[in-house]
Structures are given as structure tokens and as C-alpha cells.
Amino acid sequence: MTGLAIILYLNQPDPQPRERDYSYVGSFFAYAIWIGIGAAAILEWFVIQTKKSFVSRLVPASVAGILFLVSPLQVMVKNYHSHNRSGNYVASDYSYNMLQSCEKEGILYTNGDNDTFPLWYLQEVEDVRKDVRVANLSLLNTNWYVSQLKHKEPKVPISLSDKQIKELAPIPWKKKTIEIDIPPELAKREREIYRNTFKFARPVEQTVLKFDLSPKLFKRYLRVQDYMILNTLYTNKFRKPMYFAVTCSRDNMLDGLQKYLRMDGLAFKITTVPSWTLEPDTLYKNLMERYRYRNLNNPKVYFNENIMSLLQNYRSAFVQLANYYLSTGDRKKVTELMRKSREVMPPSVIPYTNKTIGQWMAAFEIYSGVSNPDSMDMTKYDRQDLQSIGELLMRFRSLKSAQKIFERLVAINPMDVRAKGYLVDIYGSNKEYGKAVALLEDWVKNNPNDKVAKERLEEYRQMLHPEEKPGNERLSRQ
């Protein structure tokens, strides 16, 4: 009943957010009892066989004593490193950084227990950012918690009476367009900040926050948590800044409202300007000055796969901010970001769990000079990684570095048509027409039916020897 039966009864979907061994602890206990009964039976049999001599009494006691000591010791030796939490500050620092992402008296919506309880601990025990109201979305479906948010400091703006809160339930809902008035002063201020950030962008001047919202529960009802976020948006009138933690699922961010979310680090702020992806000064200060990254560069500390995956959110923020500074031509800021990222969280300790982030980080590090393509450990990258890194470097206009990447790819696979194509483009941009011609001649030799390659070969031959152009020959004869 505590093993197979509980598996059928719980019917847990796959995957689960964490190991569920505790669900079957009853079967572990029962199994341990049977082991004990079996061990006692073996020892009793041994005593009978040796006819109750002194040895028969000494040996069982000695064996039992040794097993009693060795069994837990063996378990400890094999599992100590993965269960040792000394030096692991991820829960504390991640929660601290999430709170620091919020402006004064902000409201921060969190997803579940793992991104809520550590924040509450920091606030209640260590007095960290007690001005921020942490609102758990799972609990937001209960009336007692909504009442607590309304009445306890720091209070969340909620327009419902206590009686209405007690009667809260999922609301029948069809897709609707939500419109929330924006204070004119705030709209003007945020548009000005946006213009200063993105010089050539012109944000749409709007007086309302406008987005579509569909039913979430059985495609027929609006969940209580969604309704309460809406109620707070209407009641708050942008007096207090509102955020979603990066750990919240997109399904919990009210559909069309997501276009108004700005990534300020480990929290998304609800703004009045659509498609405002980041505010560089805020994000830079968070990543470079406010955040704590204790021991993420310490190879002696154990981090499991879930933690390593969670920590990629830092790298995502570094990449997005570096991409902004790339667009403004601020190579110095990109270099500072890449050095900071490598210093606090080197890949040798926290490996990349997302290939795309790893490719962008590698490209930015090469672009900024933090790493060199000549010294790259090729065993850590497959051909697709190198291809993507090279393409990103071309996008960054770091042609010399891209050239080294593509030359390595061609050395690995001489028939790599994409790598050769990029090399021809790079040679042409660098006016190294001889290299472009040599590469194309070799390609045409092995692929005589490639008309495009032949045309490009002729084009670069003329660039290499401009005096041989037909027009030039007629001029020389005259």
C-alpha cells in the first residue's frame, strides 16, 4: 500500500519540480523492518549452528556492532559532498537579489514556495527590504491570504470589502480587453526615460494600459489570483511599483500585460511603455553593484542541476544588457559586464545549461577581449556552437575573430559550405580578394555545377585584377 499503491493513487505527472522520495517513505520504513527481521533471523541461525558457544555469542554481537557503525558511515561517505550545504548561499543571495531588484515599497509577485519562503526569511529575520510586499500567487487564490495582503503592512492596494474577499471564487470569463488609466505625469516621465535609452525609438503616447486577457481555468474562468492582480492594478493606479519575479511562469503574467514588463534583473517591472525590454542604468547597477554572488566561483561548493539551471537567469540578464551596449557601441561596458560575469560565475564552476546563452556569452567575451578565439578549448564546443558563435561575431562586426572561428570550422570539415560562404564574405570585407579567390576556386573545382560560386569567383577575380576588366582593356588599347 505504501509503494505501488501510492504510485497509482498519486499519479504524479512527469516531470516533477523536485525529487518525490518522501512520498514513498512508508515503503522505505516497511522495507527496513523486513531487513531487520531478516538480519535477526540470520544471526539467530548462526547461534544455533554454533551451539551457543562463546564464539557464537561474540560474533553476532560484533557483526551487528560493525554493521551499525559502517552502514551509516558508508552512506555518509558516498553522499556527503552532494548533501553538504556549507558555502552554498544560493537561496539567500538569489532571494536577496530579487528583493533588491524592486524599487521602494514595491509589490513583488512570486510563484511558489521556493521563491517565496527565502524572501520572507530575509525580511522577517534579517530585516532585509521589509518595505517590499512579497505576494505569493499560489496563496493569492485563498481569501484569508488576500485579507492579509489588504490589512497587514506593507499593505497591497485592494478595493474589495472584507465580505467580498470572503466570497472570492473563480469568475466566469471570456476574452476581454483591459484598460487601466495611466497618470499623465508617470506616462510622460517613463516615455522620456525610454527615449533617452533608445535614441531612435518613439514610444506610442497612450493614456491607458491596454491588453487582452483570456480565461485561465478550464478556458472558462478567471482564477482568483488573476482577478486580484487586476484589482490591484486598478486600485494602485501606479502609486506603488509592481513586479513579477523571473521565476513566475508566463501563464501567471496576465497574457497581454507581458508586453509592458521590463526586466530589471531578477524581477520584471510593470511599466506604462510597451516593449520596453530593459532600463540599462537600473540593470547595470543591480548586476554590478547591488547583487550578491557569494561562492558561485568556488569549485569546492556543490551545486545541483536545478540550482545551475536557476543561475542562468543571471547570465540572461548579462547577455541582454551587453546586447544593449553593443547596439550603442559601448564596448567598454560590454567588457565590464563580461569580466564581472566570468569573475562571479565562471563556466568551470557553473556550466552553461542553455546552449543559446552559452553561445552569446562566448561571442561577447571574444568581442570584448575577455577571451581569445585562438585560446578557446575546442573540446567544449560542437560544430553548431562554433557556427553560432561565428555568426554572432559577424553580427557584432568583429570580423577578425569571426574569421578565426570559421577557418577552424573549415579545417574540421573542408566541405562546410556555410563556413566557407562566411569566410568569402569576410575576406571580401577585408579586401583580401586573393584568399576569397583561392577558397572559391577550390570549391568550384569540387562543385563545378555551383553557378552562384562561379559568379562570386568571377566577381572577386575582377576585384583582385581590376586591370583585366573588359572596359579597362579597351581603354588601354585606345
Same domain, 168 and 201: yes
The one-letter amino acid at 318: F
One domain for residues 182 and 47: no
Alpha carbon 127 to its chain centroid, in Å, reads 28
Q: Is residue 390 part of a domain?
A: no
pLDDT band at 213 (very low <50, low <70, confident <90, very high): very high
Asked if residue 14 belongs to a domain, the reply is yes
Judge if 268 and 163 occupy the same domain.
yes
Can you give the pLDDT at residue 470?
55
Among 269, 287, 305, residue at a domain's last position:
287
Q: What is the mean predicted confidence (pLDDT) over 148-175?
A: 97
Tens-digit pLDDT profile for residues 427-446: 999 999 999 999 899 888 88
User: Which of 58, 83, 108 lies at the terminal end of a domain, its last residue?
Assistant: 83
User: How much is the pTM?
Assistant: 0.87
Distance CA 67, CA 195 (A): 72
CATH code of 421's domain: 1.25.40
Q: What is the mean pLDDT of the chain?
A: 91
Is the residue at 377 inside a domain?
Answer: no
Confidence of residue 1 (pLDDT cuts 50, 70, 90): confident
Confidence (pLDDT) at 468: 61
pLDDT tens-digit series, residues 301-318:
999 999 999 999 999 999
Among 85-89, 154-158, 190-194, 464-468, the range scoring the smallest mean pLDDT is 464-468
Percent of the chain whose pLDDT exceeds 70: 95
Within this chain, do residues 54 and 199 fall inside the same structural domain, yes or no?
A: no
- Is residue 69 domain-shared with residue 205, that is, in the same domain? no
Q: Do 265 and 187 have their domain in common? A: yes
Answer whether residue 450 is part of any domain.
Answer: yes
**Angstrom distance (rounded) from CA 331 to CA 420:** 28
Q: Using an 8 Å Cβ cutoff, are 133 and 107 in contact?
A: yes
Angle at 381 between CA 358 and CA 420, to 5 degrees: 105
- State whether 60 and 121 are in the same domain: no
Q: Are residues 33 and 160 in the same domain?
A: no
Note whether residue 466 is domain-resident. yes
As a whole-number percent, the residues of the chain with pLDDT over 90 amount to 68
* Domain-ending residue, one of 83, 113, 143: 83
C-alpha cell at 476: 588601354
Domain ranges, residue 24: 4-83
The whole-number average pLDDT for the span 446-470 is 83
Q: How many domains does the chain have?
A: 4
Q: 9-32: per-residue pLDDT in tens?
A: 888 888 777 778 888 888 888 888
Q: What is the pLDDT of residue 473?
A: 47
Kindly state whether residues 109 and 255 are assigned to the same domain: yes
> 374-384, pLDDT tens digit by residue?
877 767 788 89
Regarding whether 236 and 100 lie in a shared domain, the answer is yes
Look at the block and give the residue holding cell 485592494: 158
pLDDT at 296 over 90: yes
Residue 203, domain member (yes or no): yes
SS (H, E, C) the chain: CCCHHHHHHHCCCCCCCCCCHHHHHHHHHHHHHHHHHHHHHHHHHHHHHCCCCHHHHHHHHHHHHHHHHHHHHHHHHHHHHHHCCCCCCHHHHHHHHHHHCCCCCCEEEECCCCCCHHHHHHHHHCCCCCCCEEEECCHHHCHHHHHHHHHCCCCCCCCCCHHHHHCCCCEECCCEEEEEECCHHHHHHHHHHHHHHCCCCCCCCCCEEEEEECCCECCCEECHHHHHHHHHHHHHCCCCCEEEECCCCHHHCCHHHHHHEEECCCEEEECCCCCCCCCHHHHHHHHHHHCCCCCCCCCCCCCCHHHHHHHHHHHHHHHHHHHHHHHHCCHHHHHHHHHHHHHHCCCCCCCCCCHHHHHHHHHHHHHHCCCCHHHCCHHHCCHHHHHHHHHHHHHCCCHHHHHHHHHHHHHHCCCCHHHHHHHHHHHHHCCCHHHHHHHHHHHHHHCCCCHHHHHHHHHHHHHHCHHHCHHHHHHHHC
Q: Is residue 305 located within the same domain as residue 277?
A: no
427 domain residue, yes or no: yes
Same domain, 69 and 131: no
Query: Beta strand pairing status for 242-245 and 267-270?
Result: antiparallel
Residue 27's Cβ-count burial label (10 Å; 0-12, 13-18, 19+) is middle
Residue 379 within a domain: no
